[in-house]
Structures are given as C-alpha cells and as structure tokens.
Amino acid sequence: MKRFPDAAREALRDETLQRNLAHATGTIRARRLSVVSEVGDWEALREAGRAIKERTLRGLDRYLVQLEGAVERAGGQVHWARDAAEANEIVIRIAQKARATKAVKVKSLLTDEIGLNEALAARSIDAVETDFAELILQLDRDKPSHILVPAIHRNRTEIRDLFRRTLRGARDVSDDPAELAEASRVHLRRRFLAAEMGISGANFLVAETGSVVVVESEGNGRMCTTLPPLLVTVAGIEKVVPTWGDLEVFLQLLPRSSTGERMNPYTSIWTGVTAGDGPSAFHLVLVDNGRTNVLADTVGREALACIRCSACLNVCPVYERAGGHAYGSVYPGPIGAVLTPQLRGVRHVKSLPYASSLCGACFDACPVKIDIPGLLVHLRGRVVDGSHGNAEAGAMRALGRMLSSRRRYERAQRVARLGRGGKGIAARLPGPLHDWTRARELPSVPRQTFREWWRAR
Amino acid sequence: MRVSLFVPCYTDTLFPEAAIATVRLLERLGHEVEFREEQTCCGQIHANSGYERDARRLAERFVRIFGDADVVVAPSASCVGTVRDHYERLGVAGAAELAPRVLELSELLVGRLGADDVGASFEGRVAYHPTCHSLRAIRVGDKPVRLLRKVRGLDLVDFPHADECCGFGGTFAVKNADVSAAMLADKVAALEASGADVVAATDGSCLMHIGGGLARSGSPIRALHLAEILAGTAA
C-alpha cells in the first residue's frame, strides 16, 4: 500500500478528479446540512445512537448469539468467519452446493473488504454488481473511492464512454442521466432474471428477531434479495443492534447523514425465509476479519460504532483533495483513517493516522459521535510506540527535553535568533523546513522574544 | 482581576507582538497581568503527534506552574484546547481542576468578563478566520466576532468557506505538505477575493501558515492575531 502523502500527491495532480470531488462533496454537504437542521432533537438522536452502539459493543458476544438463534428459528443458517478467506470459502461452498454460478449483488462494503467478487470469479461464479455506481466500477475494473458514492471520482462523460465501450446496445448512449440509467437497467434486467443467487451486505442486524436490514436508493438491491431462490448475506459482526427500538434511532440518523434525505427510498428488512415469498434458502455469514482486535483496544473500539453514512468524508477537507483511493481501502476518509489501521494492524498502515489536520469537522458531522480526531491521536500514539529509533522520534525527544527546562528553552530561543536571515539556506535543506517553504514563507525571527520584552519593560 | 498569562512557545519566540498586545489590552481594561517565567510549552506538539510520554511531562510541568492561578489566559485556542481536552486523557494529576480556569482570550473577555466592547480602534477591512480548535475543540462560538464588531473603524468582511480548515494542523503541514498546501491555496484565494486588508484569528500557528501562504502569493493581506486588533487604540 502506498503511503498516504504519496497517493494524495498523485490525486492532487488530477484536475478532473479534483473538480469531480469538489462538486460531489459540496453538493452532498449542503443537502445534509439542510435536512439535519430541520430535526429539532438531532443532538439527542446522536447521543442515543452513540449510547446504543456503546452498549451493543460491550455486550457483542451476547447479542451475536441471540441473533444466531433468532435467524435459525426463522429458517436461516448462520456461519461464522474468522477472516476474509474463511468468509469467501463459506460463500463459495453455499453456491457450489446449490449449483449456482450466476449471482447478483447488493452494494456492500464488506464484500469489497474481503474481496468476495474476485474469490467467486476464481471458482467460476459470476457475481454482478447491481448498484449503479458499483456496476460502473466493476465494468471498468476500478475500485470504490467513497462509502456511499463509490464512483464519486467519475463524471457523466467518463461513464458514458465506459457504457459505450462495455454495454451491449449502448453504443449511442448520451451522457444524460436518464439515458445512462436506462442503459444500465437493460443490462441488469437480464442479469436479475438469470440469477441463481443473491448476495448482500447488511446495514443492521436486529438481534431480537434475527432480521437483516438493507437501505438503498435504487431498488436494485431489493431485486437481489427477493428474486433469486438463494440469498446470502455477508455482514461484519459489529452490524448487530439489539432491538427494533434501537433500529428506529439509526433509521433516522442514517439517511439524513448519508444521502442527505429525510428517508431513503428503499428499506428492505427480512427475517429468515418465508414459504412462497422471496428466496427459499437464506444464509447469514458473520465476519470478524480484524474486528475483535479493534474491540480489544478500549479506546480504538469506538470506530466500530460507525454506521457507514460517509458524512465524515463529505465534510473532510483532506478527503475532498486526496480522494478515496489515497486511503488504500474500501473505507476512505476520516473513518477509514481510524478503521483501516486497526483492522489491518497499525504497523502495516502507519501513514493513515496522520492523514488529517485534526480539524474536527468529522466529529461534528458523525451521527454516532465518534471522536475521530481523538482516535487519530490515539493511533498516532500506537504508531510511535511501535517505531523506535527513527529520526522523527529522536527529534521529538530532543524537542521535549528542550521544552521541559526553562534554561534550555531560552537558550534555544537565542540560537533561533542566530538564524535570522537564514531563510535561503533553510529552503535548500531537506526535511520539514523544506516542506514548509515549498508553499509558504518562513516567519522571520524577531529581535526580541516576548519574555525578553516582559523583563525589559 | 489577576490574570496569569500563558504565551505559546512559538508565539513567545516568533510572534511576540500577539502576546505583548494581550498584556496591553488586559492592562488597559484594568486587570493585573502576571507572567510566570518558568513556562515553556503546553505539550500540544507532542500530544497531537502521538508522543504521549513527552506530552505528559510537559503537561505536568504546566499544571505545576499554573496550578494555583485564579485564571490563566492564552492567546491561542489550540493550546487551551490541549489543556482542556488532552491533559485528563494523559492522566495528569490536577488537570481536571485547572482546566476550566484556562481560557482563550475571547473566552476571558466575552465569556468571563462580559465585555464585547474593549474600546479598541482599528482602521481596515478585516476577515476573521475561525480556527478549527477555536470553533470545534474549545467552541468559542461567535465571541471573537462579537469583539471585532465593536472595534471602531473596523469593517468586518465575510469570505466563503470561512470555517473550513486552513490546512495547518501542526505536523500535518509538513507530513502531508501537498494536501496542506492545496487547502492553504483555497484559503488564500478566498481571502484575496474578500477584499480584506487583514486576516485575523485566535491562533498564531494558523496565522503563521496563512500569512506564509499570503506572502508567498504576493498578497498585501496581513495576518494579525485577534489580540493585536483589540489592543489597537485611536492614535
């Protein structure tokens, strides 16, 4: 994985990407602000959402077992997967047992996280993405760059060209959104009718009844969960909520925070199987893939409260400029910067906790009040603890020593003054001063420090 | 009121005018200002970068020096934020008791002393940049703006996306220099289009970054600390 600063530098050079990002995040940001401001008890809702998530994470072991029992009583089967490989293997086994080779998929971050499509393809099982944006990415062999709007980095013209190239009968499609939607509809209709298996993720899993909840905008997800005879839901273990009463809070928080809508167009909820209605077989695969490690960090676990609304991405000035791919994961933006290092191990993803100016816009936007700046600082501490003896650690220790004594501090101030007029040299040196002077002038060191003025007055 | 002044290390060394202005302003308003010379740094650089041990040592030092002060004022929202948000997390004894008595300048003036009008005069068009830590860490709200509105001769000008981060972020400015510079470029462009002569803020660190960017682009806009404007009187 590329270091964040290097990946971000490349994104900054791409002018089309910069325009697409600024336009899209700006639009969603304004919509979110307007629908959030009309809710009188928004702050109380956020507090409730946070409290439910905290309580659930503390009792996760119990709620998961309760969920398993409820799903099985409703005629579904539950599988437990330690990691991505196990989860993929379970889905493949289910497909093979049913002799299914054609699958249709609901938009799902988790299946992207575990690389399910690639694993299925390797066993000759064809999984087609049916969410409009996910379809675009699949056709172009591209990766998502936003939680909610995975193809946010693409504009209409780029999508038109892609459809002309890849979709049957779309050679003359224009960049009119209605025409693009129609082209995808014609393409997907054939896939829906031929599908032997539906695959979904989950926004929420209700423990008390074993119900799965998926929210979406297009209705294609509901085609996947109702049309094929076999349905497999793959979900992270943190998706469980105890009761329907708890769900009510999140169904208010999520649409306003994510798409900036009062209510999302489609909310699909199913419980096991129902004879003569929808799929006749239902499997729920519960995936850990690093989540219990996150849970073990009593500070870091707060990141598991995330409901994947992407409000933090849309308000983040760093995301807006670096784009989603720079975060090297299906979870980009501020939440990705605190989640990915924990899921993969901090030592493998050292640059992400620093991919923030700690401006705090994400914290204010988060519907479940995850203290993302606080978590970033916490993870920086874990990065520092894990990297001894590098140049930065040495410099920071020396700085700390200097600042912990008045005598050493005042001596350093006098030394700094010797550097007056030395700006030209600083700019030619490598290191932090060089990085600073690439875009900004250095301040000049004044003749007198404040404390010297104070003593002399 | 007897006010103990905390001067951020970089302000002491690089921007003494902001601290001098704070002293002159408070004395003009009839308060007694003390400066405890043992002070150095609040520990923010270390606390925000993950160097918790060094941060804790500096935090303990801060609490030792200021522990018995009635009220501590700092011309810096981010240093105040460090004391109020980080010291307890770092497990510093006495931090919780001291924290509510450590105030940013506008918090002291408007929040504690109830003074919107400090009798200042300043000729010019001023754009106020609400720094992230003033807005979202210690939440000063509109206190600085209320002070600026009462300054004689001062014309307060708006600019788009004012509450968006300028891109400084401490070590972020050098660790992610390209993204930081892109954020700065947008802030500079917005300020230049505003017609302001001066950009003012509660934090010298952000002003060092914004001022450095303005100077690099050849802009005549000056970066001034809120205290420097409030200390101004008609000549």
CA separation (Å) from A13 to A10, A204, A322, B182?
A: 5, 38, 10, 11
Nearest Cα to Cα of residue B7 among B45, B36, B47: B36
Task: Show residues of chain A in contact with B48, CB under 8 Å.
Answer: 358, 377, 380
Residue A418 confidence (pLDDT): 81
* A198 inside 8 A of chain B by CB: no
* B33 inside 8 A of chain A by CB: no
Touching B: A residues 288-327, CB under 8 Å: 317-318, 321-322
Residue type, A293: N
Q: Inter-chain contact A359–B174, Cβ cutoff 8 Å?
A: no
Nearest Cα to Cα of residue A109 among A196, A224, A239, A7: A239
Dist CA A134 CA A136 (whole Å): 5
Nearest chain B Cα distance for residue A108, angstroms: 29
Task: Show residues of chain A in contact with B216, CB under 8 Å.
Answer: 439-441
Does residue A80 register a pLDDT over 90? yes
pLDDT, tens digit (0-9, with 9 covering 90-100), for A1-52: 899 999 999 999 999 999 999 999 999 999 999 999 999 999 999 999 999 9
Q: At what angle do helices A333-344 and A372-386 cross, to 10 degrees?
A: 40
Residue A227 confidence (pLDDT): 96
Residue B39 confidence (pLDDT): 98
Nearest chain A Cα distance for residue B111, angstroms: 23
Q: Inter-chain contact A359–B165, Cβ cutoff 8 Å?
A: yes
Dist CA B159 CA B192 (whole Å): 9
- Tell me the pLDDT band of A420, cut-offs 50, 70 and 90: low
Dist CA A312 CA B55 (whole Å): 28
pLDDT, tens digit (0-9, with 9 covering 90-100), for A434-452: 889 889 998 889 999 999 9
Residue A422 confidence (pLDDT): 53
pLDDT, tens digit (0-9, with 9 covering 90-100), for A167-191: 988 999 999 999 999 999 999 999 9
Cα end-to-end distance, chain B, whole Å: 27
Task: Show residues of chain A in contact with B9, CB under 8 Å.
Answer: 403, 409
Mutation site, A445, A450, A455, interface B, largest B CB count within 10 A:
A450
Dist CA A420 CA B14 (whole Å): 11
Average of pLDDT values for A298-322?
A: 97
- Tell me the pLDDT band of A427, cut-offs 50, 70 and 90: low
Does residue A399 register a pLDDT over 70? yes
CB pairs under 8 A between A and B: 182
Instruction: Supply the mean pLDDT for chain A.
Output: 95
Dist CA A290 CA A153 (whole Å): 28
> Coil, strand, or helix at residue A431?
coil
Instruction: Set out the domains of chain A in order of their start, with CATH numbers.
Output: 1-38+301-386 (1.10.1060), 39-289 (3.40.50.10420), 391-456 (no CATH)
Task: Show residues of chain A in contact with B140, CB under 8 Å.
Answer: none
| Average pLDDT for runs of 10 along chain B of length 235 | 97 96 98 98 97 97 98 98 96 97 98 96 98 97 98 98 97 96 98 98 97 97 98 80
Alpha-helical (H) ranges within A345-443 are: 361-365, 372-386, 391-403, 406-418, 423-428, 432-437
Dist CA A333 CA A222 (whole Å): 28
Which residue of chain B is at minimal alpha-carbon distance from A451?
A: B12
CB atoms within 10 A of CB A34: 11
Residue A421 confidence (pLDDT): 55
Dihedral, B3, B9, B13, B17 alpha carbons, nearest 10: -40
Mutation site, B10, B40, B73, B88, interface A, largest A CB count within 10 A:
B40
What is the pTM assigned to this prediction? 0.95
* B144 inside 8 A of chain A by CB: no
pLDDT, tens digit (0-9, with 9 covering 90-100), for A16-28: 999 999 999 999 9
Task: Show residues of chain A in contact with B164, CB under 8 Å.
Answer: 317, 359, 361
Residue A65 confidence (pLDDT): 98
Q: Inter-chain contact B50–A381, Cβ cutoff 8 Å?
A: yes
Q: Inter-chain contact A353–B23, Cβ cutoff 8 Å?
A: no
Tokens linked to A231 = 């349905």
Touching B: A residues 3-42, CB under 8 Å: 4-5, 8-9, 12
Give this complex's ipTM.
0.97
Which residue of chain A is at minimal alpha-carbon distance from B8?
A: A450
Average of pLDDT values for A65-93?
A: 98
- Tell me the pLDDT band of A426, cut-offs 50, 70 and 90: low
